[in-house]
Amino acid sequence: MEHFAMDRCKASNRQRRGHVVVIESPAYELIVLFAESDMAHDMMELAIETLRSSINIAVVGLSRYPGKPAHDIPVLISRKGYNVVGINPSAPSSIAGIEVVGSLIEVELDIDILCLFRPSSDTDAIIDEALERRERDGDVHCIWLQEGITSKEGARKCAEAGITYIEDSCIYVIQQYLRWSHSVVMRLPLPYKVYGTQLLADKHSHMIRSLRKCIDR
């Protein structure tokens, strides 16, 4: 399923922006997206740091149907150590081991990230509901619109409310990058690990650009 989901992301990205790079090694496949991305570097950095510091993710629009990004990506994220709960009033109470509730108000987790798998036209109403929850419960620290989803009004409202806002970005791609970058640092000789860890903490986007230059050679 993991390869299938990434194939979907890969095909979508190439069709829209052509910025996918797949690196194969004997040990594992490293999937590095962002190369030549038109995603702003500051938002790229924000997405990386937000996911790195988060654990509880609520997914609006979790699908029951395997093969759809709204199903495969949340399932994969849940297998990477994140606490994931789905929000879908027409879905069963559990999908691939993920608890599903009917509305945002029913989510019992302290939400770090509210991830939206819904059309752009639906996002403003969902963001309004998330802002109400944040004011009431103090959670929902980030609103994350999946790849292909944007909202100018949502971005404005989140900025006014002081909520981290990320749009048009695949959360699983970010997670794969974090996993890859961590594995790189862990393989460094001990004297370089401290520097490598600091580099990853401060300069993810620089590392991505450098990686792209190496790949292009």
Q: Reduced to 3 states, what is the DSSP secondary structure of residue 166?
A: strand
User: Is residue 3 assigned to a domain?
Assistant: no
How many CB atoms are located within 10 Å of the residue 132 CB? 13
The token pair that represents 206 in the structure block: 């620089």
Domain that holds residue 115: 39-171
The CA distance from 153 to 116, in Å, is 15
User: Is residue 217 assigned to a domain?
Assistant: no
User: Is residue 136 assigned to a domain?
Assistant: yes
Report the DSSP beta bridge partners of residue 177: none
Amino acid letter, residue 75:
V
Q: What is the pLDDT along the chain (217 residues), one digit of tens a residue?
A: 444 444 445 444 444 443 333 333 333 333 344 444 445 567 778 888 899 999 999 999 999 999 999 999 999 999 999 999 999 999 999 999 999 999 999 999 999 999 999 999 999 999 999 999 999 999 999 999 999 999 999 999 999 999 999 999 999 988 888 887 766 655 656 555 555 555 555 555 555 555 444 444 4
User: Is residue 197 assigned to a domain?
Assistant: no
User: Is residue 195 assigned to a domain?
Assistant: no
The token pair that represents 36 in the structure block: 């030549």
Model pLDDT, residue 12: 44
Model pLDDT, residue 179: 80
Report the DSSP beta bridge partners of residue 60: 87, 116
Q: With contact defined as beta carbons under 8 Å apart, do 163 and 111 qualify?
A: no
Q: CATH number of the domain that 137 lies in?
A: 3.40.50.720
User: Is residue 203 assigned to a domain?
Assistant: no
The CA distance from 155 to 157, in Å, is 6
User: Is residue 163 assigned to a domain?
Assistant: yes
The H helix count followed by the E strand count for the chain is 8, 9
Q: With contact defined as beta carbons under 8 Å apart, do 122 and 130 qualify?
A: no
Q: With contact defined as beta carbons under 8 Å apart, do 168 and 139 qualify?
A: no
User: Is residue 182 assigned to a domain?
Assistant: no
Tell me the Cα Rg of the chain.
17
How many structural domains comprise the chain?
1
Q: DSSP secondary structure string, 53-109?
A: T--EEEEET--SSTTSHHHHHHHHHHTTT-EEEEE-TTS-SEETTEEEESSGGG--S
Model pLDDT, residue 106: 98
Model pLDDT, residue 129: 98
